[in-house]
A and B are shown apart, each in its own frame.
Chain A
Amino acid sequence: MNYYQKEIECASLDTLKALQDERLVKQVNRVYNNVGYYRNLMQKAGVTPDDIKGTKDLYKLPFLSKADLRDAYPYGLLGTPLSECVRIHSTSGTTGKRVVAFYTQHDLDLWDDCCARAIVGAGGSREDICQVCYGYGLFTGGMGLNGGSHKLGCLTLPMSSGNTERQIQFMQDLKSTILGCTPSYAAYIGETLHEMGLTPDDISLKAGIFGAEPWTEEMRHQIEELLGIKAYDIYGLTELSGPGVSFECCEQSGMHVNEDHFIPEIINPETGEVLPEGEVGELVFTSITKEAFPLLRYRTRDLCVLHREKCSCGRTFIKMSKPKGRSDDMLIIKGVNVFPSQVEAVLIEQGYSSNYRIEIGREGNMDTFDVLVELNSSQVSDTVKGIKDSEKALAGAMKTMLGVVPKIHLVAPKSIERSEGKAVRVIDKRKLH
């Protein structure tokens, strides 16, 4: 078994806790002294740095949310003088004002370490050739994985996303062994490969590290088959650095959180109460080593579960489940909570393409719920009734899974707009806010 930083990745729980306690105390002091915005929050909550003696006191600290990041935009949460910062990254800003995160050189070094651990977790080593097809630029995906790949010593192909046939050409010519991109783009590359008349035998990929958007187990199997690889999940968010906050190992059963840098908690999203291990709730992270953008108790809005069990890979870091949806991308349709990932799971289970779009609207006081799905040749019927029956059967399967029945529209292959970065899966035309 290989590790990038074995000593800490496989440390005993006592060693890890001691390190977290020490780093947390130091970080809280640094934030209190340097970040006026958070000092105010602590004062309002009646907490002083002296109250925080270790991770057991974490619950006393106030939360930070995306709203705080917007309020403090752009410099209000800086933990160091701006002159110490060497880079920014930013979120796409699709759900409101963009978030800008800052990095010192030290922050970048630690981020590279986290991504290097992820590549090794996926079976990589310095012998590998790593093709990075995450977008480069403000988005953290490209430069994040690029940094980890460099640090590990892989030959790095900084492809960015797009121009899919060229991506495949490079895979063939340079024999890339590891692919990094969004899962929807990985599936797209896989489909394109087959459309070009090639098979996984024509390329040398063995593993993929996919993140930056929600994906399902079904989609993992689909990608693994299309590309002939093992597909590993990686998790992160710009606010905490980017990809590499947690990563999957050979077990592919949840992501090990890099706990020497990030302390995870699960809370009840309604009350803020900390929940025990094994319960589903909102994931909260405290960054204990970041200098430029040191967020304490940042609410991710991702719903998941934490488990600390002995892992066959030997790592002792706690594992988080694949997010089961986001507490803020959850759709409420006709009063029922629906996650797009559930819709996707039904589609794949029923043999349909995972290229779909959910459209929600409102007629009078009633929600409308439409799902457009691309059919393939095996679903073509020579009669209108045949197509309508397939739509009805799929709607029935959706109803069983979701508790609310959508109107299914089968549409022609490739007729739903595909993006080579993040897929737009939901169009909500209701004006509810």
Chain B
Amino acid sequence: MSIKQISVFLENRAGSMAEATALLADAKINLRALSIADTAEFGILRIVTDRTEEALKVLEDGGFAAAVNHVLAVEIEDKPGSLAKILKVLFDAGVGVEYTYAFTSIKANTAYMIFRVDDRSKAENVLKEANINVAGQEIFR
């Protein structure tokens, strides 16, 4: 179980992120989650949407370099300690976390955290064993 994320390479100049998001807006593509990694030279815009293929095409046609990869969307209860529990499970199994960011679902009281890990299948297994739900693309339907 995993979901698709699009990474967009952004020039480090004013307006490059606005251009990318405007392309998606024009195509009426809704962003479900977003995060940015930035350096002095460039940025990487990571987005999750229910229309991945379409969004990728819109971005590439608009002149952006962009690629799809798979990340884990882990269901997280809206109460203290939820994130700590997930991280402990991953840490105990020796899974490294590259980055993580959160988004909420239409489903009441449910938030998800996106995890980019160094060993996806291992992470999935240990989370399942700990009774933590890992969602698939269906959460967008």
Binding site for B on A (CB under 8 A): 375-385, 387, 409-415
Contacts and interface: CB of A to CB of B under 8 A. Distances in A.
Nearest to A375: B65
B114 to A, nearest CB: 11
Interface residues of B, number: 24
Interface string B43-55: 0101000000000
Nearest to A377: B65
17 contacts: A376-B65, A377-B65, A380-B7, A380-B8, A380-B9, A380-B65, A381-B67, A383-B99, A384-B39, A385-B98, A387-B9, A409-B41, A412-B10, A412-B11, A413-B64, A413-B65, A415-B11
B65 A384 contact: no
Contact of A378 (B63, B67, B116): B67
Contacts, number: 57
A384 B16 contact: no
Contacts of B64: 412-413
Contact of A382 (B11, B39, B41, B69): B69
B37 A384 contact: yes
Contacts of A413: 63-65
Nearest to A381: B7
B66 interface: yes
Give the interface centre of A376, A380, A383 by most chain B CB atoms within 10 Å.
A380
Given A376-B65, A377-B66, A410 B42 contact: yes
Nearest to B71: A382
B63 A382 contact: no
Contacts of B5: 382
A382 B65 contact: no
Contacts of B69: 382
Contacts of B16: 412
Given A375-B9, A412-B10, A412-B16, A383 B65 contact: no
Given A380-B66, A415-B11, 20 more contacts: A375-B9, A375-B65, A377-B60, A377-B66, A377-B67, A378-B67, A380-B65, A380-B67, A381-B44, A382-B5, A382-B69, A382-B71, A383-B98, A384-B39, A387-B9, A387-B44, A412-B64, A412-B65, A413-B65, A414-B63
